[in-house]
Structure 1
């Protein structure tokens, strides 16, 4: 009898708990569904970028201008009036910048070959040690060309006309810009309509209060961040443009605008600006030592902005780690090109702030956070352990 009880107890211990197995199956199915959803979302964002790109840009512009609308509302200006004024002002700034920058940018694009030739001649003295290697490479290339069969014919595929392609691109860009500003106007003028819809989606009063608090916190933090970063970038572009104008650089307005725009790309944007300014400075000034002053000034401005101004104004809590930034820039640039790369970091901040307000997504926000946040959390854990001891 005792042996039978022992055997039955061992069998019961070895048999798996059906509730544990059910929870494991549920977790596996949930993970699979999340993976399928993410795959389908990326697929939709890629093939429907003509729709999603202006819509997301409109939401980002709305979040950037929301603090101004909120400030004016507190001083008695209705949302419709303030939204209309801000959108009209944004359109005027965009149109003016496009008009002023179009001519020098087109000249730079048309003179790309001449700029490359002048830069090659300017750097000829630094290229002399490598001339022998280049000569050997050209000789090998010539041998490869002569070894080809004489009967082989090269076929060139005729492409569509440049004018029709340019007209199509201009029409598509104009449609996207119209959608951005019109949708931003409606979103800014809607006021608290979306908050009311969110409250109506919940039944309990406690759930309504919690949802409203989370939505307000997320909207306020993201709006303040985007507006602050936009103002900082405009200030950086202004300082760089004035400094390059003082050094005698041609088209300082172009480089200031480019610095402000590319500063939405951390690390990468500053590097691109420094390289382009270096190229133009080398072909614009006779002295190489004086030409290096322009990229050195841009580098100084970027260092001061990145290490002192932005952390002091924005705060350490919204900083993103460098690995996540580079992954986001690579992903969105693959998805939507240059515009997607500019949107990468603002979208990353939106995701981080949203994840920080939900316990189930806190691990994602912790992964996106910079190293300072992790250190603070580790110090807090150590202090808590010492207090318990």
Structure 2
């Protein structure tokens, strides 16, 4: 008996070393993949964004095709609609930006006075301005600002073109792409599993995003009505911004709270008035997160909050703001994929 134990010890050590080596290789692969995805951000971000949106709109392609509408016509309509939305956002945003830039000195002076009256001289903007002037030289370099703007816009326009082109081809060639992904495998079982995987990803993404869009639309209406009621400028714009930012978990709502408070404080100069709009939205978000979403979305599409947070941190770190928007859809797609590739039966653990 002791001899068998001695002989078993090297075998167990060898197995442990193999497990450690396997996990080390997996860790190295994940690290290298993350580095590659970061380096290829300019190409991957528009392609992945187009792919996610194509999965969400995929069931519509099938439905409209049954009604006699070719997929290429639907794809062209989606791209045209995206262009119109982008154009409207640029025009409206530029108008408001020009107005705020023109009123910047007046707004800064008013904001400084209100900060002094509310918090004391320590929060005066003149002190902050003098601090920035000492650290940055106090000069405004228009050429540097223009150069920075062009450096930002040039890759952004290129990524936008890649996104729209990839979206068009993904929607118009959806059936051919699905057929290729299914028939790339030889055995029937794998083909069926791949087909079920694609269908489930499309279904879950469509269901989740449709419900989230409807909830965000209600929250946007609440923000717009609240902004109009309390007297904030551009209430319709506040609703549009809230609708867009609510798609980003955790970060989006916090950004809206801060923006509503700052603009409210700059407009009214009173802490109580400035807190009205953020508090109303906070109550609405709390009810949505704890009552509406669990009952409407259901148990099947409910995501673990910890995984949502980790996914948000990872994709934001990797791809910035666009990664934050893509975090939840990618988490849904990954969860569905893992459930099909590694099916597990539910196990009741002892208490």
State the TM-score bracket (shorter-chain normalisation). 0.7 to 0.9
Match of 1:372?
A: none
Match of 2:91?
A: 99
**In structure 2, what is the Cα distance between the partners aligned to 1:98 and 1:134?**
34
Match of 2:61?
A: 69
**In structure 2, what is the Cα distance between the partners aligned to 1:240 and 1:21?**
62
1:295 aligns with 2:278: yes
> What is the alpha-carbon root mean square deviation over aligned residues?
3.4
Shift, 1:45, TM fit: 1.7
| Contact kept in structure 2, 1:65 and 1:227, CA below 8 Å | no
Cα deviation per residue 1:248-274 (whole Å; 9 max; x = unaligned)?
A: 210223321221121122232212211
Instruction: Using CA pairs under 8 Å that are at least 6 residues apart, name the structure with larger relative contact order, 1 or 2.
Output: 2
Aligned partner of 1:36 among 28, 31, 34: 28
TM-score (norm 1): 0.75
Counting only pairs closer than 5 Å after superposition, residues 64-143 of structure 1 correspond to structure 2 as: 64-108=56-100, 115=107, 117-128=109-120
1:60 aligns with 2:52: yes
Is there any run of 5+ residues in structure 2 with no aligned partner, and where? none
| Contact kept in structure 2, 1:65 and 1:86, CA below 8 Å | no
TM-score (norm 2): 0.83
Counting only pairs closer than 5 Å after superposition, residues 325-340 of structure 1 correspond to structure 2 as: 325-340=308-323
Counting only pairs closer than 5 Å after superposition, residues 240-389 of structure 1 correspond to structure 2 as: 240-285=223-268, 288-359=271-342, 381=348
Worse-superposed segment, 215-224 or 47-56: 215-224
Shift, 1:126, TM fit: 3.7
Cα deviation per residue 1:284-313 (whole Å; 9 max; x = unaligned)?
A: 236654443322332233234333333333
Aligned partner of 1:228 among 187, 208, 211: 211
| Contact kept in structure 1, 2:197 and 2:336, CA below 8 Å | no
Is there any run of 5+ residues in structure 1 with no aligned partner, and where? 1-8, 146-153, 364-376
Q: Which has the larger radius of gyration?
A: 1
**In structure 2, what is the Cα distance between the partners aligned to 1:159 and 1:282?**
30
**In structure 2, what is the Cα distance between the partners aligned to 1:222 and 1:82?**
19
